[in-house]
Amino acid sequence: MNEHWLSIVLFTPLAGMLVLLFLPSSNKTLIRVWANIAGLAGFAVSLPLVFRFDRSAEGYQMVEKAVWIPSLGVNYILGIDGISLLLVMLTTLVGFLAILSSWSAVDERLKQYYAMFLLQQTGMIGVFLALDFFLFYVFWEVVLVPMYFIIGVWGGPRKLYAAIKFFLYTLAGSVLMLLGILTLYFQHFRQFGFYTFEISELMKLQLPLDLQQWVFWAFFLGFAIKVPMFPFHTWLPDAHVEAPTAGSVVLASVLLKMGTYGFLRFSLPLLPEASITPVIVQTLVWLTIIGILYGGLVSLMQKDWKKLVAYSSVSHLGFCTLGIFALNPNGIAGSVIQQVNHGISTGMLFLIVGIVYERRHTREIKEYGGLAHVMPVYSIVFAFAMLSSAGLPLLNGFIGEFTILQGAFEASRTWAAFAVLGIVIGAAYLLWLYQRTMLGEVTNEKNRGLRDLNLRELAVFAPLIAWAIWIGVYPKPYFEILEKPVAKIVERVRPGYFGAVSAEARAAQPAVQANSGGAR
Amino acid sequence: MSQFYTATDHFVLVPAIMLALFGCAVLLFDFFLFPQARQRKWLVAFVALGVAFTAGALWRQQSFLAKNAIDRLTAFDGALVVDGFALFFNWIFLAASLIVALVSYKYLEIEDEHHGEYYGLILLANCGMFFLAAGADLVTLFIGLELMALCFYIMVGFLRSDRRSNEAAMKYLLLGAFSSGFLVYGFSVLYGISGSTKLADVASAVAARPSSDPLVILALVTTSVGLLFKISAVPFHMWAPDAYEGAPTTVTAYLSVGSKAASFAFLVRIFMGPLASAREIWEPALAVIAILSMTVGNLAAITQSNVKRLLAYSSISHAGYILLGLIAGNDTGIQGVLVYVLVYTFMNLGAFLVVVALRRKNLLGEDVDDMAGLVHKSPGYAFLMLIFLLSLAGIPPTAGFIGKYFIFLSLIQTGHYFLAVIATLYVAVAVYYYFRIVRSMFAGQLADQVPLAASFGLRVALAVTGVLTLVIGIYPQPFLSLAEISLLR
């Protein structure tokens, strides 16, 4: 039991889906109840991971290994470190809340709807747990199909266009990534005489720089489209706007993190020399900065509430990639925390849009105004989400953005300056959105009779708000969890980094020590 | 050459004898026992029996090779060779024949053309395929090819009162005969070079000449034209969309997997045998043809509204992918050809079976729009079709991914990076048109309320193809092991 815990976490949603398929489609209540039970079970079985996780241990924990396709050297290997632990917890929680939030929003073809969510859940958890590149790739692609259907069947007016665009963009990137994977696989055979996809084996490769760079670009296409980085972001607004609320939540909170996770888990450790090549770092960081500013500016001028949140994702994910390519402990740790933060805050923002959309069937910002008078609880929840997204101190967003900025500052002051500008724009569009929709007098008579949040809707937000406050007030455990894996990545990419950072340098950055609980 | 017909000769020939015997027996039984169309579905049992006997004979050959740890059995003074390669393909042919026979009876009843000779032709075509996979002599191979092709010419035109079917058969016959002419001309040049029809002798005679020898090039070009026509590679693909669309859907299914698999077995035997020494000439040429096939197949499929035509163009692009394995030419590449043909057989058959089920009385059911809203009416069929289409596109964890995996890996191993990038990017294009069908099935308004024409045989066949498409994708090891021992040596 204990040694298979990760498999249990991985396959609980799938098992829930298989049972779901045998329930009668006519009994909608039964299907809803079962899907919620399966979602909750998925979260419940993942909770023990938090308690079993050993912060002081190096490397992967709770590793499971089984032979899968011996003649190809493919193994079924699962394991977690601090980075994947946080992302798995985010996935199981947000996945459950997304299912819970769909109770009244979706009424057609319920069985297929929930089946797709549960299948996708297994796919996403698998991406974060897999330590075998083949296994990773399988899960990576498995995620695409359910999301295609969630957008394409239960989405808005242009759902089919958005769904196939999402599918084709990500697929085109990931097949090129597959070529990169196969190149590493073959190089490993050349150097060591046997074929394997195991990440820890592939880490032993000694590759010439030019080959590393080619593979890096192949991986880059796969991951950057998923993140999405500028200029590969165009699928994102379409997908988000057309997807049903729960689909947007999962897409923003978890699916996009697969891209940033890919950079951290594969690009950096497997291709360390390519990852610090100035051309690559400069290209990626400037694309990131363009993404941050462009996403923010486009958000400012959106008339559609959901589209605004979608573009804000482009901007916020930019901070995550900026942290990664600062290539120092602060940047990377901040990036992972910001990934979780973005999951929490943007997930909430999409849920917020979904709630008024369910009541009014419009997302035009100008249709709303003064909702705070009609829906007071709702406006408070929205305030939390908005401030968390804008990075107000004592909420989670501040911790992530601050740490990333420290990392960026250490790498280059110019980068940090542009990123700060991005934060200012971010605050502007979020506050302005809040002002236009919530504050002032009720401008539209149709909004007079809107119902405030019910208990179930409140239950969806409560854990997210609690988590946001926890990270904002007491982030120490998160930095502790991340310390070892982040140090490993930095040591791999910049050997001797920790020796070179002198005591004075560390003393000059007191905030780092406070945050990371006394970094080395 | 001591004895005319030795025990080994017999042992090697038994599968072909079984197929031919049962093929003829079906004709007789049809004539004497089942004069009425309604009874003819029992002929499927005869086909199944014939397939079972053939499978038994193949199994004995397979275990004989394994037990004695030998690569091959040659018979008839080297005209026939039973090796892992031949056996592997023969298993595929048998599976395809059986599945096609299983789904045909209801379909032919609906088309009002249920005649017993149809089942005889299936078995006789399979007999021709046996010689294509096991032949090691130019004449044997050519006779096998013609036996198979003749059966297909008739089957394509089996809907006698249907204009499309007649047109398809005529086109296929004329172009097929033309390409056979090229092929046999190439064979005559090869014979002229070597003075022998045995592949091994031809190979050594060709290898003795420089590959720029005009005779070698002449033989290469003419032979290739014939072979590439059979696998419907661009620019010899013109017949495929028309023949696929006009033929009865069950025959289209058989044509697209059986005939194609056999032709690939033939093609690999020739290119890795007699023409192997001229690789530097044909490799770049085939690379161009593979790229063209993927391009034309994938791009033309986008605009098709007829599902059979769409699948015809997609099969052209699949031919391009399989050729890539031959172009890479290492063990991974040839294993890739084998694995790809295997998975292609099941996923493509499965996709056509769904189209077969859509043909109902007074309802053609071949259009993408005819599939609209299928998920509301028959969710099982819709989800199976989804699996087949995902597999055709090459999305894990379906079988199609395993096939593409080998092709991509072999290209990287042999340094064909450019081809690899092209081949991978066309996966995205393929998803686009396969998902037009998915979109229609899952997001469209229900096209009609008429239930699908689901016979018992069709359900069994769909279950088998669906399960195999998933199993090969999730647990491919046994199939890969089989392909590994079946490499051409």
Domain spans in chain A, listed from the N-terminal domain onward: 296-520
The Cα B1–Cα A516 span in angstroms is 85
Backbone angles phi, psi at B306, to 5 degrees: -95, 125
What is chain A's length?
A: 520
Q: What angle do CA B424, B430, B433 make, to 5 degrees?
A: 160
Question: In sequence order, which residues have a C-beta less than 8 Å from that of residue A2 and are 6 or more positions away?
Answer: none
Taking CA–CA distances from A74, the nearest residue in chain B reads: B477
Question: In sequence order, which residues have a C-beta less than 8 Å from that of residue A232 and are 6 or more positions away?
Answer: A169, A173, A221, A224, A225
Interchain CB contacts (distance < 8 Å): A and B: 74
CA B141 to chain centre: 16
DSSP A255-293: IHHHHHHHIIIIIHHHSHHHHT-HHHHHHHHHHHHHHHH
DSSP A408-462: HHHH-HHHHHHHHHHHHHHHHHHHHHHHHHHSSS---GGGTT-----HHHHHHHH
Q: Is the pLDDT of residue B5 over 90?
A: no
Q: What is the pLDDT at residue A505? A: 59
Asked whether the beta carbons of B380 and B451 are under 8 A apart, the reply is: no
SS3 content of chain A, % helix, strand, coil (to 5): 75, 5, 20
The Cα A176–Cα A179 span in angstroms is 5
DSSP A243: S
Q: What's the token pair of residue A11? A: 């396959």
Query: What does the mean pLDDT of chain B come to?
Result: 92
The Cα B58–Cα B134 span in angstroms is 12
Tell me: the pLDDT tens digits for B166-219? 999 999 999 999 999 999 999 999 999 999 999 999 999 999 998 888 999 999
Indicate the pLDDT class of residue B239, thresholds 50, 70 and 90.
very high
Tell me: the pLDDT tens digits for A453-477? 899 999 999 999 999 999 999 999 9
The Cα A282–Cα B387 span in angstroms is 42
Count CA atoms closer than 13 A to B295's CA, side-chain side. 11
What H or E segment, with its residue span, contains residue B345? helix B331-358
A162 min Cα distance to partner chain B (Å): 12
Q: What angle do CA B327, B333, B334 make, to 5 degrees?
A: 100
Residue B474's SS3 state is helix
The Cα B274–Cα A148 span in angstroms is 48
Tell me: the pLDDT tens digits for A496-516? 888 776 555 555 555 444 444
Record the pTM.
Answer: 0.94
Q: Which residues in chain A come in under a pLDDT of 70?
A: 1-2, 501-520
Of B86, B82, B93, B79, the closest CA to residue B126 belongs to B93
Q: What is the pLDDT at residue B253? A: 95
Number of C-beta neighbours around residue A55 at 10 A: 13
The Cα A118–Cα A111 span in angstroms is 11
The alpha helices in A102-208, defined as continuous H runs, are 110-129, 133-142, 144-154, 159-192, 199-202
Average confidence (pLDDT) over B446-459: 87
The Cα B213–Cα B225 span in angstroms is 19
The Cα A357–Cα A364 span in angstroms is 10
CB pair distance less than 8 Å for A145 and B390: yes
CB contacts of B425 in chain A (<8 Å) are 172, 175-176
Count CA atoms closer than 13 A to A380's CA, side-chain side. 8
Nearest-CB residue to B435 (from A138, A159, A164): A164
Q: Is the pLDDT of residue B2 over 80?
A: no
CA A260 to chain centre: 7
Of A246, A426, A431, A234, the closest CA to residue A353 belongs to A246
Q: What's the token pair of residue B97? A: 């024949």
The Cα A257–Cα A228 span in angstroms is 9
CB contacts of A168 in chain B (<8 Å) are 428, 431-432
The alpha helices in B162-304, defined as continuous H runs, are 163-194, 199-208, 214-230, 239-246, 249-254, 260-272, 279-302
Of A209, A329, A318, the closest CA to residue A259 belongs to A318
- Antiparallel, parallel or unpaired: β A61-69 and B80-83: unpaired
- Antiparallel, parallel or unpaired: β B72-75 and A61-69: unpaired
The Cα A60–Cα A134 span in angstroms is 18
The Cα A402–Cα A85 span in angstroms is 22
Identity of the residue numbered B426 = Y
Q: What is the pLDDT at residue A507? A: 57
What H or E segment, with its residue span, contains residue B320? helix B307-328
The Cα A99–Cα A79 span in angstroms is 26
What would you report as the CA-atom Rg of chain B, rounded to the nearest whole angstrom? 21
What would you report as the CA-atom Rg of chain A, rounded to the nearest whole angstrom? 22
| Residue carrying structure tokens 């149709």 | A446
Residues from B contacting A (CB-CB < 8 Å) are: 375, 390, 395-397, 401, 405, 408-409, 412-413, 417, 420-421, 424-425, 427-428, 431-432, 435, 439, 442-443, 475-477, 480-481, 484
What H or E segment, with its residue span, contains residue B81? strand B80-83
Average confidence (pLDDT) over B307-320: 95
CB contacts of B428 in chain A (<8 Å) are 168, 171-172, 175
CB pair distance less than 8 Å for A71 and B431: no
Residue B32's SS3 state is helix
Nearest-CB residue to A182 (from B401, B412, B480): B412
The Cα B428–Cα B393 span in angstroms is 8
B249 min Cα distance to partner chain A (Å): 28
Of A345, A294, A284, A332, the closest CA to residue A315 belongs to A294
The Cα B48–Cα B58 span in angstroms is 15
DSSP B360: B
What H or E segment, with its residue span, contains residue A217? helix A209-226
Average confidence (pLDDT) over B443-466: 89
Q: What's the token pair of residue A448? A: 């007079």
Q: What is the pLDDT at residue A518? A: 40
